[in-house]
Amino acid sequence: MSIAAAPSISKLATGIDGFDRLSGGGVPEGRTTLLVGGPGTGKTVFALNTLANRLRDAGESGIFVTFEEDADTLIANAASFGWTLSSGGAAEGGPGIFVLDAKLNPDVAQSGDFDLNGLIGALTALKERTGARLIVLDSIDWLLAMLDSGAARRRELLRLRQWLRQEGATALLTAKTDQPLEGDAESALAYLPYMTECVVVLHHEVSRRVARRWIRLLKYRGAAHNSNASPLLIRSGGIMVIADKVDMG
Amino acid sequence: GQSKQPPIRLQFFVAYSAPSSRAAMATLESVMKTLEDRVELEVIDVIRSPERALEEGILVTPALIRLFPGPKRTLIGDLRSESALRRFLHDSPLQPER
């Protein structure tokens, strides 16, 4: 009878080797990971790279929900790394990475409160069609910016979390903020770490015209991980993270 | 009497379980009773018919879409302002939004 170790959550390899070493195997499967960092820190590329690697390595379909970037710009960006994205529910069959354009049309008139049940419906249908279990939502700030009050933002975050949980999906949420997440309690962003099992911080700094990027695991509930900052590079083939093996000391 | 014009055609994407959708449905119903124009209304629950939400690119609910008279336009929210709803139903592109 072996001594049962703490129930280690199953992990989904991202295929970004350094990160998988840093995190002891990847992101928590069936859970939500938050990728947080300022503009240009590589959040979107990291998420795209993960989707592309799962498709290449495990033949798994993925969904990329874009709230900010136009679908065709995103598809072109991905293509520049050699990753193929297809738009909408165009699932003529076969695995792929499917983009759901979730940008709210700016000239839509509004009268009163609304919620994100539409997005939940569209996601349900797209997940049904494609069988995707890995879902990226880029970026959560834009999703929340559509809502008028802190209460509405928290309510819709809960709705999203409940749907992800119920579908057993592995989610990568990107958040653009670089102010401290603990910020004011009112902002829903301060609420995010409580709903995400794994928080990854990306940092970007330019000094003497040299751009340096880092990645750090701020939090990983229920798993040993290496939490010091590791260099991150964006190459033509995608993200590289320079990290040694996590010490299970 | 009923005006001879072709009916106003509306699509209404809702989530029956959500308070904002229920409020919007009640407001739309009461306003429609007072309209002279004939209205053709299709109500779609995005949770029961998720495919429709995907195909029509519906993100938020409630979302009221006016198909005719064109151009297609959308009003989201619980329709708390009846006057905004009436303007939405009747405004033609020639008439500047008040």
- Report the gap between the CA of A216 and the closest CA in chain B (Å): 33
φ, ψ dihedrals at B89, nearest 5°: -70, -35
Instruction: Output the CA angle B55-B61-B64, nearest 5 degrees.
Output: 80
Region A151-169: mean pLDDT is: 92
Task: Write out the two tokens for B34.
Answer: 């007072």
Nearest CA in chain B to A129: B51
CB contact under 8 A, A112 and B59: no
Q: CA B58 to CA B64: how far, in whole Å?
A: 10
Greater pLDDT, A241 or A183: A241
Counted across chains A and B, CB pairs separated by less than 8 A come out at: 109
Q: What is the DSSP string of A185-248?
A: TTSGGGGHHHH-SEEEEEEEEEETTEEEEEEEEEEETTS----S-EEEEEETTEEEE---PPP-
- Report the gap between the CA of B36 and the closest CA in chain A (Å): 23
Q: Please answer whether residues A139 and A48 qualify as being in contact, where contact means their C-beta atoms are separated by less than 8 angstroms.
A: no
What mean pLDDT, rounded, does chain A reach?
Answer: 87
- Report the gap between the CA of B16 and the closest CA in chain A (Å): 10
- pLDDT over 90 (residue A71): yes
- Report the gap between the CA of B28 and the closest CA in chain A (Å): 12
Q: What pLDDT is attached to residue B21?
A: 97
CB contact under 8 A, B23 and A112: yes
Greater pLDDT, A87 or B84: B84
Q: What pLDDT is attached to residue A83?
A: 98
Residue A38's CB: how many other CB atoms inside 10 A?
14
Q: Please answer whether residues B80 and A112 qualify as being in contact, where contact means their C-beta atoms are separated by less than 8 angstroms.
A: yes
- pLDDT over 60 (residue A183): no
pLDDT band for position A192 (cuts 50, 70, 90): confident
Q: Dihedral of the CA atoms A171, A115, A36, A139 (nearest 10)?
A: 80
CB contact under 8 A, A120 and B46: yes
Mutate to test the interface with A, among B12, B54, B78, B83 (most CBs of A within 10 A): B54
Q: Please answer whether residues A233 and A74 qualify as being in contact, where contact means their C-beta atoms are separated by less than 8 angstroms.
A: no
This prediction has a pTM of 0.90
Q: Please answer whether residues A243 and A21 qualify as being in contact, where contact means their C-beta atoms are separated by less than 8 angstroms.
A: yes
Q: What pLDDT is attached to residue A88?
A: 63
Q: Calculate what percentage of chain A has a pLDDT beyond 70.
A: 87
What mean pLDDT, rounded, does chain B reach?
Answer: 90
Where is mean pLDDT largest: A7-11, A46-50, B68-72? A46-50
